[in-house]
Chain A
Amino acid sequence: SQTIHQWPATLVQPVGSPLSLECTVEGTSNPNLYWYRQAAGRGLQLLFYSIGIDQISSEVPQNLSASRPQDRQFILSSKKLLLSDSGFYLCAWSDPGQGSKTEAFFGQGTRLTVV
Chain B
Amino acid sequence: AQSVSQHNHHVILSEAASLELGCNYSYGGTVNLFWYVQYPGQHLQLLLKYFSGDPLVKGIKGFEAEFIKSKFSFNLRKPSVQWSDTAEYFCAVSEFGNEKLTFGTGTRLTIIP
Binding site for B on A (CB under 8 A): 32, 34, 36, 41-46, 49, 51, 57, 59, 90, 92, 94, 96, 99-104, 106-109
Number of A-B pairs, beta carbon distance below 8 Å: 59
Q: Is the beta-carbon distance between B99 and A99 smaller than 8 angstroms?
A: yes
In-complex Cβ contact of B32 among A36, A90, A100, A107 (8 A): A100
> In the complex where A96-B99, A100-B99 touch, is A108 in contact with B106 (Cβ < 8 A)?
no
A57 CB contacts on chain B under 8 angstroms: 100
Number of interface residues of B (CB under 8 A): 25
In-complex Cβ contact of B99 among A36, A44, A94, A107 (8 A): A94
Q: How far in angstroms is the closest Cβ of chain A from B26?
A: 15
Q: Could you list 29 A-B pairs, sorted by A, with CB under 8 Å?
A: A34-B101, A41-B9, A43-B6, A43-B90, A43-B104, A44-B92, A44-B103, A44-B106, A45-B103, A46-B100, A46-B101, A49-B99, A49-B100, A51-B99, A57-B100, A92-B101, A94-B101, A96-B99, A99-B99, A100-B94, A100-B98, A100-B99, A101-B51, A101-B94, A103-B34, A103-B46, A104-B101, A106-B43, A109-B43
